[in-house]
Structures are given as structure tokens and as C-alpha cells.
Amino acid sequence: MSHSWNTHSLLDAALIRRFVREARQRRLAQLRGQACEPLSLQQLLAMHGQATMGVLLILLALITTVPVAGAGMLFSLGIFAWAWRWARGEEAPRLERLRALKLGPQAALKVLRWLAWMYAFAHRHLRPRWQALYSPRLHWAWASWVTFMAFIIFLPIPLGNLFPAVSLLLFGLGLLTRDGVMMVASLLLGLVGLTVLALAGGWLWAAVTGWWA
């Protein structure tokens, strides 16, 4: 295994200020009618300073929520690759083709704002705790959970990617801050999402069969 088990948070105030500043500059440019450059996954990773596994999962999960056709299906493949490498204790996957893909100005601003808000929240409220849940011995079990969430995102279900994506965001924040509470929150939210999808699917099936009856 090539990466070690860190027990301290990788999130700091400088990182938060970087994203707040970038989001503010892009917003001001839009208000002035200036054109903003697209933003790639590679650029987002570079803004973090180090492309840790937690950072990559956060970005992949967040981009699946952006209203761009095919984003969920495409970036869920990157999450599959992430889960495989994390379970094996390897470094973050390169994902060369995904890194080159760019978000338009509006989508980029949305992602930057969400990252700034999430990191500020995590910096204030999250801390290293319950770290046994992130033990390398449990990587395969949790990688299976991440894979399952990625599979739900991959399916072409209207709004079906929301709960799994947020679940993976919590998981990534837990990795970044070494807060095991986020793992429990990730699991609970994912289960709630699956329940909602199952109920909605049952209701839709009953409505369709009732209409045809």
C-alpha cells in the first residue's frame, strides 16, 4: 500500500480563503459583464495544493450534481475508479480524460461557492474523531458502499443522483478532516436516499399500472 493512514485534518484556513477569493472574483467579473474562463477538474485539484483521495472524491461527487447533461454518468465512472484504488490503499487515480473536462462559467461559480461553504463549515465543526471507522482494514467494505452510491448516480434516474452525491460528499469531507462522524452521516443519508427512491419508484409503478388497468 502506497499511502499511510493520517490522523490529522488536511483542511486549513488558507484553503478556505483561496476558494472564497476565487468565487468572489468570478462573481464580480460576471457582474461587470466580463468573460470568465472555464474551470477544469485539474485546475480544481491544483487549487487544493495536494490531490488527496478525500479531495478527489469531493470534487467528483460535487460535479455529478451540476446540471450538465451526462455529468452524473460520466463522473460516476471516476468514482468507481476511486473506490477501487482506495480499497487497495493506492494513490488517487489519474483520471486524465476527466481532469481535462471543463465546467462552464456558471457551473464553475456554483462549484467554487459550494466548496468554499463546505470547507468553511468543515473547518468550524469537524475534527478528528471516531477514526477507527476509517481503518485500512475496513477500506474494502466502505469502498463497496462508495461503489454502490456511484452506481445509483450512474443510473439515469431524474434527481436520483442527489442523495448519493451528498452522501459521498460527506464521506470525502470525513476523509479530509479525519472525522468518523461523517462516515456515519454518509451511511445514514445514503440509506435515506435509497428509501426515498424506492418509495418514489413504488408510487410511480402503482400509478402507471393503475392508469393502464
Reported as a single tens digit per residue, the pLDDT across 81-132 is: 999 988 888 877 778 778 888 888 888 889 999 999 999 999 889 988 988 8
What percent of the chain has a predicted confidence (pLDDT) above 70? Answer: 88
What percent of the chain has a predicted confidence (pLDDT) above 90? Answer: 31
> How much is the pTM?
0.84
Answer for the pair 101, 40: CB distance below 8 angstroms, yes or no.
yes
Report if residue 1 sits inside a domain: no
Report if residue 176 sits inside a domain: yes
Report if residue 139 sits inside a domain: yes
Residue 7 confidence class, pLDDT cut points 50, 70, 90: low
Answer for the pair 194, 152: CB distance below 8 angstroms, yes or no.
yes
Report if residue 5 sits inside a domain: no
Domain boundaries, position 18: 13-212
Report if residue 133 sits inside a domain: yes
Average pLDDT (32-52) is 84
Report if residue 78 sits inside a domain: yes
Report if residue 7 sits inside a domain: no
What own/partner pairs with CB < 8 Å and gap ≥ 24 does 1-6 have?
1/88, 1/89, 1/90, 1/136, 2/89, 2/90, 2/91, 3/53, 3/89, 3/90, 3/91, 5/134, 5/135, 5/136, 6/178
Query: Number of folded domains in the chain?
Result: 1
